[in-house]
Every structure is written in structure tokens, then in C-alpha cells.
Structure 1
């Protein structure tokens, strides 16, 4: 029997069943199924081939007949299709809503007078996998560029929008090093003994390497802004990687500093 269990689901409110998550031997996660406060099953997380359907019960919830079924999730963690059969018409089938529990079990509840339950594993198709992977990659590629959109940055990443501790100010400069303006910034920062963060463009550093070295030697933080000032949303992952890698390599070679921060260009 699992130990240290605690209630984790409220979806069974009003039914005679309850579930708890706990630990079995060797601290393996385990799900306990109760009926009228009596333990009826313990499902332990296991690496062996899962037994899809562990059990099913009929009962009454607030005067309505109902049924429950539970089991282990398949290896790919996709939720199974659960069909309850019976009711007033023997051939009636009802597809139940299935929820995942603890990352290794599933649970399904349906209302009606059912006599049997069927469980089917529908693996994720190669097409669905490809679409899912493409969506994840697109989101990962777009995420840094999204921070360049002011309203989204302030709402989702307040720290990147300058919202921080009261009484603290962080000075940052983009698009340099520019011989027309950076020397003036350096002089003013030196006069007031203030340090800042400079987000450098690789092509600008190539044109003014001595100015880039002076920034680092003056104790300012060196960060990456890209090689070209182009919006990531309009570029593919490969082009974006090449741009950032080229900028990083140039900054390390010229300044001897490995940047820890990156700011995407804000113009799309």
C-alpha cells in the first residue's frame, strides 16, 4: 500500500470514489483508488509494459448511476480512448472524458447505467508528432523576439521591461559600438563612476574593435544584440543561429569577454 498519500483530485466529488497519490516501495509514485473509503486498488509507476485497464466500477452519484474506470498510461503518455457501453439501450456507447493523474495513470468517469468498458490506445501519428515538434520549435524560435514587443514584454517579462527594485536603475545601450556616440557615453559614465551594459552588434564591433575593447576594459558589461539589426521573427532558426553565433564569436575575440545576456533587435 502506498504511504504518505494525500488527496489530489476533486473531480470525483459526489461519487463513492476517491483517489490519492503516494509512494510505494523504493519511493515509486503510486495511485490509490478508494470506494466508500475502502482501498480497492493501488497502481504503481512501472517501466514494464503498462496494463491499460486496471479496473472499473459502477456506483451512484447524487442519485444518478455512474461508472468509473482507471489504468496506466501507455509508454507515449497519450490518453486512451475510453468507451462505456450499456444504458437503457444495450448497444449505447459513450466516450468518456479522460484525465491524466500523476503522469502515469488515467481516470475516466461517465454517467449512466453501463455494463462494460473498452479502452483503446491511439498512438500519436508521425504527422501529429511532426506538427507538434514544428510548433514547439516555432515557439522556441519566436520567444526571444516576442520580448521586443513592448506591451508583451511588460506583461510577461516585467524584469526585461525595467520593472525591478525601487531605487535601482540599470543603464543599457544598444546598437554599438558607434564612434559617433559611444565615446561620449563612456566619458559621461566615467565622470559619474557608473557602469552600464552595452548590447553590441557584430558588424559595428568589426568596424570599431578598439572601441569595443575600451568598453570591456572600462568595466562595463558586454552583451549581444546580434550581428545585423534584424528582427528574429522574420528570419528562420538557421539564419538566427548563424547571426548570433557570429556575433558571439566576434565579441569574445575582440573583448575577451563571454556575454551572458542577449537582447533581440526591436525593429521588425
Structure 2
């Protein structure tokens, strides 16, 4: 474009200079020059006024939130020489420390000599003390989503008193009756005064969901042997079980203390300590 424009300009300047010098060019030549100049001028005007499409790049700012990659579930595998002989918590079948992962109690053992609140936030006896009143924690649920209030706790204790199941009979011995005064208040009446009822009894007594057990006779309850028997209210649920091989616990999202930091706990049976060590070394 610039070269064409410059060329035409030079022609115009040359024509002006020739005219200024008084030269008398041939008429035909002057006419031809004028015609050429007009053509070039028209061409320049067209080129200058021509619409040329221009690409426009739009820059749009957008806030993007980075999503971290999902972490692999944390799994803890523990080698043991003995597992449950039964899943049923009403029967004597071993594996008591494992059951504590599944079932919360009214009180917890914090140390050898100290008891801390569990399902009950606090408790106090009457003057005897033959009647104990417990303030039951709100917002607790069983693994099947049903509530665990004073009503469910009272039902569980009374059902065990009535049926005297092998694994729990020692812990309800001397209990007369449990009554839910309201959803957060439980009253337990004893046959005789006991000063350390929580430490001696209630830190060991499972609380079972009526949704699983209430429609069963004692015989049916004793014979029940499936994963449903391990529906509790503790930090872990039983996800898988193979007798004499392994038991898999998975963290319960709805646990009242908050989700456990380890997603999965696996207890695996080994015949000897050496076999467990070799499995550990092999990864």
C-alpha cells in the first residue's frame, strides 16, 4: 500500500515540477499522464477506504477453584492370632476390644482409675445410691440411622435384664429397671445400692438398636449370626467378615464424636507371630 501511494505521489510531484519548469510537453503525453494519475488516485482512495476485517481477541477473567486430588482411604491392618468366634454381641465369642470399635457405652474407661462420659454426658445417684439418673447425649444415632436416645437405651437395658444373655448378664445383674423420663434423661433403679455403677457395669454394657432386635425372641436373638448383629453406635461399622480369616471395620460418618481419622481398620488372623511379621515385611 505504502509503495503504491509513494509511487503515485512521486508521479504527481514530477508532473508539478515539469509544469513549473515551463516545459511544453506533447499534448498527448500530458493527457496520458493525467489519465494514469486519476486511475492511480482512484485506486488509492478505494484501498484506503476499504473495510478490512480485524480479529479481536476477548479476554474473559474467570475465577477457578483448584480441586485437590482425592486421597486414598487410610487403612490400618492389625495382625492377631484370634478373631471373633461369633459376631453376635449377646454371646461370649471373644474379640472384646474389637467390639468397642462398634458399640458405645454409657461411660468410657479413660484410664485405669478414670471414667469419662460416653453416651451419658453426666450422672448422679440418689442418697442411697440405689437410683441413678443419667443425662443422655443428644444427636447420637445407630449405624442404620435410627436414633439412640434415652428411650432406646432404656429398651436395650430392660431387654437384657429380661433375657439374661450370656455375654451381658454379668453387667445387668442387680438392675431392676431402666426408665426414659424424656429423650435425654434415663433413670436406672437397682436392686441394692451401688456406688460405682458406671465403672463396674456401664462401661462394659453394649447398647443395642431396637430396630434390629426388638422383634426377636431370646432364642432367635441367640441364634442370629450376620453383619446386622454388629449394627452399633460407635466410631466404626463392620463392613466385611470371614470367620477365622479377617474382619474389616469402616469409619461411621455419623459418629457423634466426629468421623474417625483412620478410614478402615482390618484385623487379620495369623497362625503365628512370625507369620504376622513376615506379612508386615512383605507389605
TM range (shorter): under 0.3
TM value normalised by structure 1:
0.19
Report which of the two has the higher share of strand.
Answer: 1
Larger of the two Rg values belongs to structure: 2
